[in-house]
Structure 1
Amino acid sequence: MNKENDTESSVESSTTTEAPKATATRHDLQFPRRFFHLSMGTGAGIIYYMFLTHQAAVSILGTAACLVYIVEQLRLNYPEHASTFSILTKYLLRAEEQLKESAGMPFVMGLLLTLLSFPKVVALTSIFTLAIADPMSAVIGIRFGKNRIVKGKSLEGSAAFFISTFLIIFGVFGFLFDNDMSLVTLLAIIVSLVMTAFEMLPIKLDDNLTIPIVMGLITWFCTGFLGIPTV
């Protein structure tokens, strides 16, 4: 009798804590994840530009990084409470991220390190590139990519990355910070070409971390070379 009760209790407990399994891979469109990526990054950039000082932005993102880290550790180390993270698992995680750290931590760390390392105009350009160009290239590449350049990358996806990055640089440096448009156009062409080539490289590091940092370094170097002010 006790054994039957224990079995029923065990089944009931496992049922109440079981979370939906993530089945999406990096080859799936997974629109909720792409939209979350785009909206969070774009929102962070807009808020930083319009309302926050550098110190305030660093403090807020530093706190966000701590919270994301804590949530990730709870999710990974307490599987008995997996149902608590059911929405996260169902809509935002990929299959390979269920038992390891998700892209959320590299994403917020990429934003934080970008803010810490670069002047505001460069940081904004890098943040918007990560937020917009990265998911745009993925969606276009998955949906319309037919001409493969390298493994996992298509001509269509890379073209989307180039165009998005070009427009971001042109908009941030030319309109938000009112620089000389001829120099801004040259900057946009050079940096977009270099970043598009970089994005094709088969680097094992998470691109949520590498894209904004490399974008910031290249943009900062090119602005100095072209004489475009960043302060």
Structure 2
Amino acid sequence: MVDVQTTSEGDPSASPQLKQRFKTQSKSESNSDEHLPLAQIRLKSHEWFGEFITKHEIPRKAFHSSIGFITLYLYTTGMDYRNVKWPLIVAFAILLPLDLIRLRWNAINKLYCRCVGALMRKSEIHTYNGVLWYLLGLIFAFSFFPKDVALISLFLLSWCDTAASTFGCKFGHLTPKLARNKSLAGSIAAFVVGFLVCLLFYGVFVPHYAYVNSPGELSWSAETSRLSLTQFSLLGGVVAALSEGIDLFNWDDNFTIPVLSAIFMNAVIRFAKAT
């Protein structure tokens, strides 16, 4: 007769090897998100990068910021800014149907999230990707505003938004909250970066690469404005802080920042125009 021990529930106790097998199998099943609801998907790329990098969205912010540097390089090559909107429109026309498809079919959405999850927030798993709003905002700026205004709006989106998010997350609890997910710390960071963007773009890049601009293509210059470069850059910082801090109908700030900054910068330039 085989001596079988029982647990308090009356079930046979397994051998240590069998227990370990069941434990490993259970852990493997719990780590699998294949059959989990969409909202519970764990983005594998977030696990690869580790908690610190994931918490601070470093891959997403690096990609976000790189757009500004790429655009600045293209500016120095003399690329016609009027042609910038066309690849943006094409990208939007491709990504919008893709988002519609993935939001309709969970299997495709899971595959999509695993491929580009490093650049996504978890909130974007079951809603439209922020890239769509990013593209829409830039399409608006490059379609309706002068060259320098469109470029500044892109730089503010690329760098001020990243700075505001980084400093807001780090120090926002120490300062007053201005709006939904907006803090004074983030707005101060946006102001500083916006000031530096205007100061360096108009003070360094525009004169150094003057040959890439056609006559009258830039809407602001020290010769045609009542404001000095420093004064204008300070207002540029204010524009950056306002554009980043305003919560407009809960719209995505990837859309509102370039739209508002383009409108505000254009208004500042017109107001400061020498008569």
Q: Which residue of 2 aligns with 1:8?
A: none
Cα distance in structure 1, aligned partners of 2:95 and 2:71: 15
C-alpha change, 1:35 and 1:88, in structure 2 (3 Å) is farther
Name the amino acid aligned to 2:156: T
Cα offset for 1:41? Answer: 4.1
Cα offset for 1:144? Answer: 2.9
Cα offset for 1:103? Answer: 0.9
Cα distance in structure 1, aligned partners of 2:144 and 2:247: 25
Query: Unaligned regions of 5+ residues in structure 2, if any?
Result: 1-28, 47-54, 208-220
CA contact (8 A) 1:166 1:188 kept: yes
Cα distance in structure 2, aligned partners of 1:69 and 1:166: 34
Q: Would you say how many aligned residue pairs link Structure 1 and Structure 2?
A: 214
Would you tell me which structure has more helix in proportion to its own residues?
Answer: 1
Q: Which residue of 1 aligns with 2:12?
A: none
Which shifted more, 188-197 or 164-173? Answer: 188-197
Name the amino acid aligned to 2:262: G
Q: Which residue of 1 aligns with 2:23?
A: none
- What's the RMSD between the two structures over aligned residues? 3.0
- Higher relative CO (Cα under 8 Å, sequence separation at least 6) belongs to 1
- Cα-to-partner distance string for 1:141-184 (whole Å, 9 max, x where unaligned): 11233222425333322211101001111122222223439622
Give the TM-score normalised by the residue count of structure 2: 0.68
CA contact (8 A) 2:82 2:142 kept: no
Cα distance in structure 1, aligned partners of 2:162 and 2:115: 18
Matched, 1:153 2:198: no
Cα distance in structure 2, aligned partners of 1:55 and 1:197: 27
Matched, 1:205 2:251: yes
Name the amino acid aligned to 1:166: F
Q: Which residue of 2 aligns with 1:222?
A: 268
Query: 1:27-42 maps to which residues of 2 (within 5 A)?
Result: 28-42=55-69
Which shifted more, 94-103 or 130-139? Answer: 94-103
Name the amino acid aligned to 2:42: K
CA contact (8 A) 1:17 1:81 kept: no
Q: If you compute each CA radius of gyration, which structure gives the higher value, 1 or 2?
A: 2
CA contact (8 A) 2:194 2:238 kept: no
Cα distance in structure 2, aligned partners of 1:127 and 1:186: 21
Query: 1:156-175 maps to which residues of 2 (within 5 A)?
Result: 156-175=185-204
Which shifted more, 161-170 or 95-104? Answer: 95-104
Cα offset for 1:16? Answer: 9.6
Cα distance in structure 1, aligned partners of 2:91 and 2:75: 14
Name which of 124, 136, 140 aligns with 2:167: 140
SS at match of 2:84: helix
Cα offset for 1:119? Answer: 0.8
Cα distance in structure 2, aligned partners of 1:202 and 1:109: 17
Name the amino acid aligned to 1:183: S
CA contact (8 A) 1:37 1:135 kept: yes
Q: Which residue of 1 aligns with 2:206?
A: 177
Name which of 8, 11, 21 aligns with 2:42: 21
Cα distance in structure 2, aligned partners of 1:226 and 1:82: 49
